[in-house]
Structure 1
Amino acid sequence: MSRLVVVGASLAGLRAVESARRAGFTGAITLLGAEEHLPYDRPPLSKEFLTGDGTPKHFRTEDALRTDLDVDLRLGTPATGLDVEQRVILAGNDAVPYTAAVLATGATARTLPGLPALSGLHTLRTLDDAHTLRGVIRPGGKVVIVGAGFIGSELACSARRMGAEVTLVEAAPVPFTAAVGDEMAPAITALHTRNGTDLRCGVTVTGIDGDDRVKAVRLGDGTTLPADVVVIGVGAAPATGWLAGSGLKVDDGVVCDETLATSAPGVYAAGDVARWFNPLFGETMRLEHWTSAAEQGALAARNAIDPSAATPCTLVPYFWSDLYDSRVQFVGVPTADEVRVVAGGVGEDTLLALYRRGDRLIGALGVEQRRPVLRMRALIGKRVTWDDALEAAAE
């Protein structure tokens, strides 16, 4: 009997299950999840989950998964190995056979080397992490966040709303450059400045002091920051350790071709863990975005159950972030020959910037420009010319 095994009860994993059933797959489906929780929405963890009532958003009920989608759901069961010759996935004491598999194990929070084992030192990646932070961030408390990327920045906004004193520390001279490019990164940084957040750029953490719990963070410029809570937000690493010895090609993620197929027959990957060749841009990429995980999960499952009809993954990267009262969106890729602001400006309430490579539109950044950015995403997918993109923006 045909069996699809999806490793990772994440957004990508859930969309893979749903997509397989929508495509008419009638074989057995097993969904393995390392966490005890039903698939849940991650973006709110650094935002409204912290500042609201702490209720997670689960995508589906257990009954819907087990009954409506007829899924063999195994939560709290992390995969520990993959045997591509025998076509089995090791999970707990079981060897789960597959005819097709989708790997959607996501990523784990990176940390800093040499950190002491102190209470009050946290990362934010999982629902359990978020629950813990809700209990320790308090009005008047001193919170130091290391890493001013979007997760660190969102967390800084939330902690301030919760009444804490927040210092945001970033090693780079300007944050967000990897996400939106050197030219436009100051536009996002300006949101912190305008909202009074204490942002320290161009400094590294040299040590964390404390006895049983954190008391202070030492910086490379000689500054010492008092701290009750320290959150390390320096990015995430693809969760590929469990694949050691499998023979699967891994290089900053599970390496895939344009259809999300890995180096092993019948095995595909999706979401944060997948590093694939995107023919739309002619480059290899690994994305940690909500939309990419959803779209890749659905496509990987369709390709896995019917490889003869596999289609390439030509998605246009898209992410958004809510910083203070502003919605920041980016579509495409930031490595451009030219960046042109076509509405608003750096430091203003609104901004729309377009990114050109050669004669093509390849990216767009928006601050409070929701519909225009989504329109640009569609145009990037159609490979429109720069002139056509400028004309569309003018409209």
Structure 2
Amino acid sequence: MVDADQTFVIVGGGLAGAKAAETLRAEGFTGRVILISDERDHPYERPPLSKGYLLGKEDRDSVFVHEPAWYTQAEIELHLGQTVTAIDRAAKTVRLGEGTLIHYDKLLLVTGAEPRRLEVPGTGLAGVHHLRRLAHAERLKGVLTALGRDNGHLVIAGAGWIGLEVAAAARGYGAEVTVIEHGPTPLHTVLGPELGNVFAELHREHGVRFHFGRQLTEIVGQDGMVLAVRTDDGEEHPAHDVLAAIGAAPRIGLAEAAGLEIADRADGGGIAVDERLRTSDPDIYAAGDAASFPLALFGTRLRVEHWANSLNGGPAAARAMLGHDIVYDRVPYFFTDQYDLGMEYSGWAPAGSYDEVVIRGDAGKREFIAFWLKQGRVLAGMNVNVWDVTERIQKLIRSQAEVDTEALADPHVPLESLAS
């Protein structure tokens, strides 16, 4: 039984943390809610950092989850710019960097992820960037503006979602862009070669240069500034700035030091939680990018680094903390916007998990839906410039029905008729 004398502490100031705090109040919790973030900004959403805000289409204030006044009105106690350095599970306290101890009855860890770092000479130069936080996006926006004005070169290490979205933004500003990617296509581990090439051609049409099967080995500079990069084939590429976009790692140090169970690396690492988003400590929960949760639909454990997982996972964890009987089993979902291409992806079909890809529509015109199947059952679907189909795609995935692939490929056959 939750009562007004209890204190719920949320560690992490991103979307998951903000939505968890909102849900606690919406569900009628009248106890203390304390949200601690190591960023000085109020909780914000991350997709605009590589999309609308970076492109200059959205203003800075648009990224925040709530107006600052909302936290006061909802009686959410904010500790911004504060780092939690330790969890004492026996005493049920968290320690802040300056030594303050805060008691909790229930604790939610939404510590997120951090960019992986390039481990090559030259990473300390002034023109080497990462993109994870609002401050990174503010800085990068200024860099892209200057590169476009001066016909400068941006080299991006990594052709994942962040790398490609920044490439599109940079070309929008007029910067020259070169992408170094160790895989054979963009997004190879997510989309495979069949669909990765769609994104390669899209970017090539907009002037992006790709070097596949290559790794960046050195960033060359002079007087602290970037001049070029070198790759493992001995080539040197001109650069004024470099973006490291080689993925993100879950921020699990706090949980690990507290003795909480950590998921295997094969499952994406992260803080291991059950279907209620509860960790190995019954009074501690985790959600968002840092959490690894079981998904029975795919018979595996997943860690998902996308907006929808934070949007839905934070509220689910809040309800579980209140004692609600929840099962977190959302079909993974993410989206991207690059140039005139808009895409939504639902499901989970990593390389090696599927045996067939079916295309419905015209891939050449970039108006289609792609489906990844195994033994005739849909694992994932990606709609490109085709809208209002996500619910039907997810229903098809959940049905685990064996489908007629000819009907699946036929745009005239309603998707809902295949999910019986």
State the TM-score, normalized to the length of structure 1. 0.94
User: Which residue in 2 is equivalent to 1:126?
Assistant: 133
Q: How many residue pairs are counted as aligned between the two chains?
A: 391
Structure-1 separation of matches of 2:175 and 2:358 = 37
Match of 1:221 in 2: 233
Q: CA separation in 2, counterparts of 1:374 and 1:43? A: 21
Q: Quick one: distance in 2 between partners of 1:299 and 1:204?
A: 40
* Greater Cα offset, 347-356 or 31-40: 347-356
Could you list the runs of 5+ residues in structure 1 that have no partner in the other structure? none
* Contact 1:118-1:214 at 8 Å conserved across structures: yes
Residue pair 1:54, 1:131 contacting (<8 A) in 2 also: no
Secondary structure of the residue aligned to 2:38 is: coil
Q: Distance in 1 between matches of 2:107 and 2:41?
A: 21
SS in 1 for 2:309: helix
**Cα distance in 1 between the residues matched to 2:393 and 2:414:** 8
8 Å Cα contact 1:88/1:98 also seen in 2: yes
1:86-165 to 2 correspondences below 5 Å: 86-92=91-97, 93-116=99-122, 117-137=124-144, 138=146, 139=148, 140-165=151-176
CA contact under 8 A between 2:171 and 2:206: conserved in structure 1? no
Mean Cα deviation higher: 166-175 or 146-155: 166-175
Deviation at 1:204? 0.6
C-alpha contact (below 8 Å) 2:33/2:75 kept by paired residues: yes
Q: Which residue of 2 aligns with 1:316?
A: 331
Q: CA deviation at 1:355?
A: 2.1
Is the Cα contact below 8 Å between 2:396 and 2:416 reproduced in 1? no
Give the alignment of 1:45-64 within 5 angstroms.
45-52=49-56, 55-56=60-61, 57-64=63-70
Q: TM-score, normalised by structure 2?
A: 0.88
Matched residues in 2 for 1:274 and 1:187: separation? 31
Structure 2's unaligned 5+ residue stretches are 264-268
Residue 360 of structure 2: aligned partner: 342
Q: Secondary structure at the match of 2:114?
A: strand
The structural deviation recorded for 1:313 is: 1.0
Counterpart code for 1:194: E
Out of 374, 380, 384, the residue aligned to residue 367 of structure 1 is 384
Name the residue aligned to 1:14: 18
Q: Equivalent pairs: percent with the same residue? A: 35
Once the two structures are superposed, the pairs formed by residues 1-395 of structure 1 within 5 Å of their partners are 1-52=5-56, 55-56=60-61, 57-67=63-73, 69-92=74-97, 93-116=99-122, 117-137=124-144, 138=146, 139=148, 140-211=151-222, 212-251=224-263, 252-306=269-323, 309-334=324-349, 335-345=353-363, 347-387=364-404, 390=408, 391-393=413-415
CA distance in 1, matches of 2:159, 2:308: 22
- C-alpha separation in 2, matches of 1:209 and 1:381: 50
Amino acid at match of 2:216: V
Deviation at 1:385, TM superposition (A): 4.3
- Measured against aligned partners, the alpha-carbon deviations of 1:261-312 in whole angstroms (never above 9, x if no partner) come to 1111211111100011112221100001101111111101111121xx4322
Question: Hey, what's the Cα distance between the residues in 2 that align with 1:84 and 1:385?
Answer: 47
Aligned-partner SS, 1:386: coil
- The amino acid of 1:99's aligned partner reads D
Cα displacement string for residues 25-77 of structure 1 (whole angstroms, at most 9, x for unaligned residues): 1111001111000111211111221221652421212210121x211111111
Higher mean displacement: 271-280 or 349-358: 349-358
Counterpart of 1:328, as a letter, is M
d(CA) in 2 for partners of 1:185 and 1:394? 27
Preserved contact between residue 340 and residue 353 of structure 1 (Cα < 8 Å) = yes
Displacement after TM superposition at 1:11 (Å): 0.4
Give the distance between the partners of 2:218 and 2:89, measured in 1 at CA.
43
What is the distance in 2 between the residues matched to 1:30 and 1:315?
27
Tell me the amino acid that sits aligned with residue 108 of structure 1.
E
The verdict on how the C-alpha distance between 1:15 and 1:387 changes in structure 2, with shifts beyond 3 A counting, is farther
RMSD: 1.9
Opposite residue 296 of structure 1, the aligned amino acid is G
Q: 1:78-111: per-residue Cα shift (whole Å, max 9, x none)?
A: 2211122211122222221111111111000111
Q: Is the 8 A contact 1:359 1:385 kept in 2?
A: yes
